[in-house]
Amino acid sequence: MLLPGLAGGLHAEPSEPPALRVGTSGDYAPFSVRETSGEHAGLDVAVARAFAKAQGRRLELVPFRWPDLLTDLAAGRFDVAMSGVTVRPERSLAGTFSLPVLASGAVVLVPVERPLTSAAELDEPGVRLAVNAGGHLERVARAKFPRAQIEAVPDNARVLARLDGANAVDGVVTDTLEAPHWQTRRTGLRRIGPLTRDRKAYLWGPGRADQRRALDTWLLAREADGELARLRGAAGVPTAPVAATPLAALVAAIDERLALMPQVAEAKRQSADAAGPVVVRVPEREARVIAAAKRAAEDAARAAGLRPQDPAAVARLFEAQIAAARAIQQGVLSAPAPPRADGGAPPDLEQIRPALLRIGERIAWLLVRLPPGQDRDAVLDAVREGVDVPHLPATERDAIAEALVALAAGT
């Protein structure tokens, strides 16, 4: 006779999968808004709910403040941040981005009665601008308007109100996706910009590779079947270019990888101070990167049951990226090192290389999902529009596009 506990164990129900813990700010329309009822709404909240349901998991929303985003992510307070997070190099080092879901750009909203109509007029000592503290837009404001007075407001929900009152600022910094919501709440605003070209994606903490890949697979499918478009429309998101397609996501991943090259250059400059001249080209390491890319593409095809890409075509694409990376580094190193906003040292290569590897693996994963027969002009336009890194020559950017065309064509 079986003991009761043992018998019960033989017939126990499967354990419930762990909750999907999603970091959300609750202060950033149209992505995450905390309503008066205490419930959260917005595009990224809706995407999180739909994905959790598809995975058969309970959703747990974890509030965060923008200045604490990376600290909370590193501490494991949540699995993934889904709250209109902008892709930025320091975030690529701290975690792993999903496929992009939207494009945006920073703008400044100015009351029409103020005589400010251009970005150049905003960058003056007497101009005061308010912006959400600790996020992407504060960095943009300080970089674009170094002469202006920047007021970092610790709660994004209170930024718009700084346009009114006895001590009102001249303008507020937001983006093309949030601006329509603010202009509905406060009329009589002039928009200046866009000043940047950005992407929104979901930021995973360390590890969680299976969850990351499950979300990326789900995003590709939901973009293809129109569900993401429906969720965008329900959240009041303006019509935007489709983001979660293999080509758009590939271009975004290449851009994200190349955006780390200025940090690579500064890390090399710092390590070479005592050792001699900066060495940009290291053939042995470049060969290892190309070999790893070919293996990653083969593994991705095998895991998905898809036809593997021509290894030579994969190598040509990564060779083109490496040439572009060298050009960016050389451009950065041609000028003195700029002072860092945080006053600290740049990350070293041991911090940067894991991020480059993660992004390279995402590129390989997307390559096998790139439909064949891509239109050459469409690919050229996508790369020219979507790969926008300082010091990148147009010739190197076009070489990446041509390698993508050849890879999709199987030539």
Tell me: do 144 and 73 sit in the same domain.
Answer: no
Tokens of 350: 């041991």
> What pLDDT is attached to residue 275?
56
Tell me: do 48 and 77 sit in the same domain.
Answer: yes
Which residue(s) pair with 24 in the sheet? Answer: 63
Residue 378 lies in a domain: yes
By three-state DSSP, how is residue 205 classified? coil
Residue 12 lies in a domain: no
CATH of the domain at 183: 3.40.190.10
Tell me: do 288 and 348 sit in the same domain.
Answer: yes
Which residue(s) pair with 171 in the sheet? Answer: 129
CATH of the domain at 379: 1.20.59.10
Residue 10 lies in a domain: no
Residue 8 lies in a domain: no
What is d(CA 323, CA 84) in angstroms, rounded to the nearest whole number?
32
pTM of the model: 0.91
> What pLDDT is attached to residue 36?
83
The burial of 139, by beta-carbon neighbours within 10 Å (0-12 exposed, 13-18 middle, 19 or more buried), is given as: middle
Tell me: do 289 and 347 sit in the same domain.
Answer: yes
> What pLDDT is attached to residue 12?
47
Query: Which residues make Cβ contacts (< 8 Å) with residue 193, sequence separation at least 6?
Result: 105, 106, 107, 108, 119, 176
My answer on whether omega of the bond before 246 falls inside 30° of 0, hence cis, is no
What is d(CA 216, CA 97) in angstroms, rounded to the nearest whole number?
10
**Sheet arrangement for strand 149-153:** 149-153, 128-132, 171-175, 106-111, 189-192
Per-residue pLDDT of the chain (411 residues; tens, 9 = 90+): 444 444 444 554 567 889 999 999 999 999 999 988 888 999 999 999 999 999 999 999 999 999 999 999 999 999 999 999 999 999 999 999 999 999 999 999 999 999 999 999 999 999 999 999 999 999 999 999 999 999 999 999 999 999 999 899 999 999 999 999 999 999 999 999 999 999 999 999 988 889 999 999 999 999 999 999 999 999 988 766 668 899 999 999 999 999 999 999 999 998 876 556 888 888 999 999 999 999 999 999 999 898 888 999 999 999 999 999 999 999 999 988 877 666 667 788 999 999 999 999 999 999 999 988 888 899 999 999 999 999 999 999 999 999 999 988 765
Structurally, the chain folds into a number of domains equal to 3
Residue burial 261-271, b: 16+ Cβ < 10 Å; e: rest: bbbbbbbbbbe
Q: Where does 1-154 have alpha helices with state H?
A: 4-10, 43-55, 69-74, 89-94, 119-122, 136-144
Tell me: do 342 and 397 sit in the same domain.
Answer: yes
DSSP 227-292: HHHHHHHHTTPPP----SSHHHHHHHHHHHHHTTHHHHHHHHHHHHTTT-S-----HHHHHHHHHH
What is d(CA 67, CA 408) in angstroms, rounded to the nearest whole number?
41
Tell me: do 206 and 74 sit in the same domain.
Answer: yes
97 φ/ψ sector (left φ>0, alpha ψ -120 to 50, else beta): beta
> What pLDDT is attached to residue 240?
65
Q: Which domain holds residue 121?
A: 106-192
Tell me: do 128 and 32 sit in the same domain.
Answer: no
Tell me: do 298 and 387 sit in the same domain.
Answer: yes
Tokens of 261: 């090259």
Tell me: do 351 and 229 sit in the same domain.
Answer: no
Residue 59 lies in a domain: yes
Tell me: do 206 and 93 sit in the same domain.
Answer: yes
Q: Of 178, 206, 234, which residue is a domain's last?
A: 234
Tell me: do 376 and 346 sit in the same domain.
Answer: yes
Tell me: do 57 and 136 sit in the same domain.
Answer: no
Do the strands 27-28 and 189-192 form a parallel or antiparallel pair, or are they unpaired? Answer: unpaired
Residue 386 lies in a domain: yes
Residue 9 lies in a domain: no
Residue 62 lies in a domain: yes
